[in-house]
Structure 1
Amino acid sequence: MTSTTRTRRRAADEPLEERPGPSRRRFLARRWLALLLVLAVLGLTYVIMFTPLVGVREVEVLGTRELAADAVRDAAAIEPGTPMARLDTDEVARRVAELPRVFEVNVSRSFPSTVEIHVTERTPVAVVPDSDGVHLVDRTGADYATVPARPKGLPVLKVVKVAPDDPATHAAVTVFGAIPDQLRGRVVELSADSPGDVRLKLRNGKTIKWGDAQDNDRKAAVLAPLLTRPGRTYDVATPDFPTVS
């Protein structure tokens, strides 16, 4: 065996020299850095969640027609400076939805400091004249506003009790929403003594007995040619056996 080989073997047999670990100073520096990072995160979280620094500065109202934007802001009741991250948008939407004219509302955050309130107002489909004015009724049957005069083109709704949960009201507004636009514009009175007895009175004095709010497409198809025949009352409550009298 050569001397070179013996030298290599001795070198292999000798224990490897361990590399020195990080110094105490470096170890402490790393610990301080980690602590500072944690404190920075906690501080930033506190600023975002509990201070007005990233708070509400503007409330933008979109989609209103009859409603005043300030009325929506008042109903929303968002305190200036409220932290954006902690703002309960569902609660704000619930408060705005209590406004009678509001059909639907969506509240969203637009960082860094704006809250957007998107409002869809109710649209009247019929009116109910009363001693205090003309009540507006939307497609759900809700009596949501009172105006001094009857808006042009809206029929008078005649039911015992106007309410979204009233079966006769629900049947009447459902039928009115289902009839063709051309016919809808000719209706001056919409009535229902019961959910199965919806009637439409036209501008020319003719009456349509519609019946219940079922088979509306079929009834509309049958009614179109039926109205070309002379008569005063057109009954499509049973669309397979329509009558004119």
Structure 2
Amino acid sequence: MRQPSAPRAPRTGPTRTGAQRPPDPRAPRGADLVIPADELADLHADWDEPVPDDDAPREQPEVAPGRPDRAPRAALPGRAPVSQLDDRLAERRRARSRVLWTRIGIGVGVLLLLVGAVWAVGFSSLLALRSDRIVIAGEGAYLDRDAAVAVVEEAVGTPLVRLDTAGIAARLEERPDVADAVVTRDWPGGVTATLTPREPVAVAAAADGGESELLDLVGPDGVVVASVAPDAAPGDLPLLTVDMTQDGAQDTVLAVLSVLDQLPPELREQVRDAGATSPDAIELRLHSGSSVGWGSAAESDLKARVLLTLLQVPATRYDVSAPEAPTTS
């Protein structure tokens, strides 16, 4: 039979304030437990640790070195005070506002620059056409350069970007001495008009019905390039002899002029006059007194080469209306 153990001596030493050791459910009720000495020492060590008092003041964390602007946390660890959070949100709103207004300022500045550039280029006189910057390019015996300059000067003061170069070229081509015109801008304030003069290919009696003694110099398209006195007419131009009262006289004149325009210079200077009764019956008369039956204006290049060969044989009449089978008499 088990002998009852001696009563436990009361524990001495510091105890945990307000704490009691819970009973071990495994311990038999009404019986005393025997605890080994080493375990008992461990229990005494645990109980001897001081218990933190909730009313005692807590240590404040030190400020991180190099971050003087960070205030020490006075609240629970990991949570910023409400006032500090509001300051940061306000600073963020101010930063966003500064970025927004900076962008708006940049946009307004760029817009003003664009408006100023458009005004300077398209509406101011900074890049407008000046009369001293007009250049007329092209050479011709009957080209009136002063008249061409006067046409271009009508646009003086117009900004180059708004200058109607095609319209200026069209007005230049309306002149009888200009066959073709190309107008280009010459920055910052000039233009260059390149003109192809209309060259006469025949001399005709003045269209006033003989009331004047002037002769008309006629171009290949039937346009009168200039009117000159008989002694001023070029000697290498043939006289155009077409009855202008006949039906289709204009077509006949154009056919004759087309033939004269295609003649090589060494052959044209031998032609004294050219006429026709119809576009298909063109006749040439040479300074030698011989006549040439040309026919229509078709194959004029071939006919000219054949005639130059036939002229090596003296004859009264040369017929090249059929260039593959020419005849002389």
Distance 2:296 2:320 in 1: 10
Q: Which runs of 5+ in 1 are unaligned?
A: 1-19
Distance 2:256 2:269 in 1: 15
The structure number with the bigger radius of gyration is 2
Greater relative contact order structure (CA < 8 Å, 6+ sep): 1
Q: Structure 1 pair 81/70, CA: closer, same or farther in 2 (3 Å)?
A: same
Question: Out of 189, 192, 215, which is 1:113 matched to?
Answer: 189
Structure 2 length-normalised TM: 0.62
Distance 1:61 1:243 in 2: 49
Cα distance, 1:172 vs. partner? Answer: 1.1
Question: Out of 245, 250, 261, which is 1:166 matched to?
Answer: 250
Q: Structure 1 pair 73/194, CA: closer, same or farther in 2 (3 Å)?
A: same
Please tell me whether the aligned partners of residues 202 and 219 of structure 2 are also in contact (alpha carbons under 8 angstroms). Answer: yes
Q: Which residue of the partner structure matches residue 69 of structure 1?
A: 145
Structure 1 length-normalised TM: 0.82
Distance 2:156 2:326 in 1: 63
Larger CA deviation: 48-57 vs 234-243: 234-243
Correspondences of 1:88-127 after superposition (within 5 Å): 88-127=164-203
Q: Which residue of the partner structure matches residue 114 of structure 2?
A: 41
Question: Out of 289, 292, 301, which is 1:205 matched to?
Answer: 289
Query: What is the total number of aligned residue pairs between the two structures?
Result: 224
Distance 1:124 1:173 in 2: 9
Q: Which residue of the partner structure matches residue 182 of structure 1?
A: 266
Identical columns (%) = 33
SS at match of 1:157: strand
Q: Which residue of the partner structure matches residue 135 of structure 1?
A: 216
Of Structure 1 and Structure 2, the greater strand share is in: 1
Distance 2:153 2:176 in 1: 17
Please tell me whether the aligned partners of residues 195 and 213 of structure 1 are also in contact (alpha carbons under 8 angstroms). Answer: yes
Larger CA deviation: 49-58 vs 68-77: 68-77
Please tell me whether the aligned partners of residues 216 and 225 of structure 2 are also in contact (alpha carbons under 8 angstroms). Answer: yes
SS at match of 1:52: coil
Q: Which runs of 5+ in 2 are unaligned?
A: 1-91
Q: Which residue of the partner structure matches residue 192 of structure 1?
A: 276
